Structure 1
Amino acid sequence: MEEYFRKIIEAVGEDINREGLVDTPARAAKAFKFLNRGYELKLEDVLNDAIFEADTEDMVIVKDIELYSLCEHHLLPFVGKCHIGYIPQGKVLGLSKLARIVDMYGRRLQIQEKLTKQIADTVESAIGAKGVAVVIEAKHLCMMMRGVEKQNSVMTTSVMTGIFRKEISTRSEFLNLINRQ
């Protein structure tokens, strides 16, 4: 990977032997691996048996989970926040596991639409929830730094499964709770 970064730097017209760039291919390779570390993770390891029996059927929400990913079309970052809600059906997830699921899929080359669905499907299948709601709000550097160069645009995606899709009142409660300050 270092050699590819070296070639990219030279291809844009830079002198790879310039003092500030001598170690850049190695640093860039290390950073790119870090930014895409989600490929090295397995769901079983991320969940780490943190699925617990619970007799509650009330909504569980974790909001404002920081999200960092790379757009698979331009390899530029998109950053934002993810909100997850679910209605348990006998089982709940350890609190940090929701954030770890976001990181596992976010730290891969992605599109936001697919990422939103991956998170919802994973939570639903992990605990057999009655329904899952996921909303992601993110700014995409591929839209801010190039192309149309719109600095204040935010993309919002949502996936609703089960009771969140069927019951407007459940969906409305979730959306109202994530929008409270």
Structure 2
Amino acid sequence: MCKGLATLPATCLKSAKDIKHKISFLLQKQESQEVDHKQTKETKNEDAAKRMPTAADVEKWKESFSCVMNSETGRSVFSSFLRSEFSQENMHFWLACEDFKNTPTCKLDKKAKFIYKQYVAEGSPNEVNLDAATREETCENVTSASPSCFDEAQRRIYILMEKDSYRRFLHSKLILDLSQATRKKDKKSGSHTADIRQELAGGA
């Protein structure tokens, strides 16, 4: 140790060491946060790339509504279209019903009431368009919840999306842009398109 430091009181040396340790800790924490942020960003970009459809995907979706609904990417793209029409609650409800079917028995009652209050009850925050008879039937089903208590309501909303929204989806700017972008990308490199990520994220 140099003479200058040796002449300092022990308390000063301890304080200096403490400050050094704190600075070192903060620098390590900052580096760790930067790495985590970078990894998170890279993961999101990879996930987004996986979700982007190919030209074959888009052509398949044009064949039938079931092709859209049986594809995770198809449901995501269709949800973007529904969002542009302010009717995304239909997809949210359908997905909630799918998830509900796999709910453990001990949680059925609580989850059924939540879905009913969220989507089915009159004046609910995300009320879906159901006829009075189906709404009443669903209300009765929820009182003795079972995995199938939303089946009829879910079927009605599926038909509504298929007969109404899907037809407009086929002629929408979103699907037309996707068709053109994916064809160009597939011809060029065979990779997924990223040309309209922003449109998919914010709605058509």
Tell me the TM-score normalised to structure 2 length: 0.25
Higher-helix-fraction structure: 2
Larger C-alpha radius of gyration, 1 or 2? 2
Tell me the TM-score normalised to structure 1 length: 0.27
Q: Larger relative contact order (C-alpha < 8 A, sep ≥ 6)?
A: 2
Higher-strand-fraction structure: 1
